[in-house]
Amino acid sequence: MKSLFIIPYYGKLPYYFPAWLTTAKAQRNIDFLFITDLFSEESDNIKVLNWSFDKLKNFIQSKFDFKISLERPYKFCDYKPAYGYIFEDYLEGYDFWGHCDIDTVFGDLYKYLEEPLKKYDAIGRWGHLSLYKNVPEINRLFMSDKGFFHYKEAFQNDYSYCFDETPGMKMIISKTEGINYFFELDKMVDASRKYKKSLIGEHNFNNQPNQIFYYENGKLFKCYYNNAQKIEKEEVMYLHFQKKQPKISSELGESFYVFYNEFVPRISEEQDSQMIDKMSKYQSPIYKLYEKITYTSRWFSNLLKMNKEQRKINNQKRNLAI
């Protein structure tokens, strides 16, 4: 099974992009198509359409008979479920297409996707990584009226509707008869935004006290002390470190640690205990409580900045527990 992830990206490449690129190039049976004006270099599984933002906006507009809203790159989130329709001319030879974010570090994705790809029409429920079978009825499924928001409402307004997640595509999929879907990727680490200085997975991920993560030769590992204070490691699918901005201060090579603020080369296993101890202060109960309180304060501050319509949409999304 061959898959293509489609990634429009504009603005400025993040500090961590070389780390993402290292993990993306290591993928089996998975290609990536960038639509961007930031770089043009391709590799075996990295393809690039070197388009300006305006060219892409006009291209997307040509696919619809109503005026779309696409004034800023973040709005692409609402268009993600439509990529199979918008970019259908670029999908020849692929069994699945999908969307993913680049604030991620990939492990061996195909190890976890190989069996689901044989059984399901849709895989994943989050904007940072989802896949859809490349057939006309799935590629146009976003046009259904079974979502909490209709695609025309999401595409015609500037506010973010999270149409790529529960209010849109995932509700449509779950309410459409005959669609086989697999939403829960239990080896995926979606780092909670509540904790700025640690990587603690949400959505029932099996977190361990004082866990850290490292990448090595195409695989991603969770590393931690077990009850006997011995170091254990467990392979995971990928890490989404949303809203964090880790930097790269030196050449990473093929093995590196992933922290909230930086990527660090991993030279040997002897480093593991040192790195776990270094990060443990940010995972104490007191510090995590402090971070939760700080996060809640930021959330209320952002809510107060919203206008009436934005608050209405935000409350509707929260009621869906996204």
Beta strands 238-240; 104-106: pairing state? antiparallel
Classified by CATH at the fold level, domain 3-182 comes out as Spore Coat Polysaccharide Biosynthesis Protein SpsA; Chain A (3.90.550)
Instruction: Give Dmax (Cα) for the chain.
Output: 63
If you search the block for the tokens 């973010």, which residue do you land on?
160
Tokens encoding 57: 């906006």
AA identity, residue 30 = I
**Strand, coil or helix: 247:** strand
Alpha carbon separation from 59 to 62, 90, 141 (Å, rounded):
5, 13, 20
Q: Where are the domains of the chain?
A: 3-182, 188-283, 288-319
Q: What share of the chain is helix, strand, coil (3-state, %, to 5)?
A: 35, 25, 40
Q: Which residues pair with 9 in a beta bridge?
A: 36
Q: What tens-digit pLDDT sequence spans the chain (322 residues)?
A: 999 999 999 999 999 999 999 999 999 999 999 999 999 999 999 999 999 999 999 999 999 999 999 999 999 999 999 999 999 999 999 999 999 999 999 999 999 999 999 999 999 989 999 999 999 999 999 999 999 989 999 999 998 899 998 889 999 999 999 999 999 887 999 988 787 878 888 887 888 888 999 999 999 999 999 988 899 999 999 999 888 899 998 889 899 999 999 999 999 999 999 999 988 877 777 767 767 777 677 666 766 667 766 666 666 555 555 4
CA distance 204 to 192: 11
What radius of gyration, in Å, describes the C-alpha atoms of the chain?
20
Contacts of 81 (CB under 8 A, 6+ apart): 99, 132, 141, 142, 151, 163, 164, 168, 169
pLDDT of residue 322: 46
**CA atoms 207, 209, 215, 219: torsion sign:** negative
Nearest residue to 123 via CA among 82, 85, 179: 179
What are 174's two structure tokens? 């779950």
Cα separation, 166 vs 149, whole angstroms: 10
CB 316 within 8 A of CB 148: yes
Give the containing element (helix H, strand E) for 319.
Answer: helix 308-319
For residues 242 and 295, give the distance between their C-alpha atoms in angstroms, rounded to a whole number.
14
Q: What is the per-residue pLDDT for 125?
A: 87
List 239's β-bridge partners, or say none: 105, 189
Q: At 60, phi and psi to the nearest 5?
A: -65, -45
Mind spelling out the 3-state secondary structure of 55-103? HHHHHHHCCCCCCCCCCCHHHHHHHHHHHHHHCHHHCCCCCEEEEECCC
Strands 212-216 and 104-106: unpaired
CA atoms within 13 A on the CB side of 42: 12
Name the amino acid, one letter, at 27.
Q
Give the CA distances from residue 131 to residues 123, 181, 222, in Å, rounded to whole numbers and listed in that order.
Answer: 5, 10, 24
Which single residue is written with the structure tokens 């939760």? 292
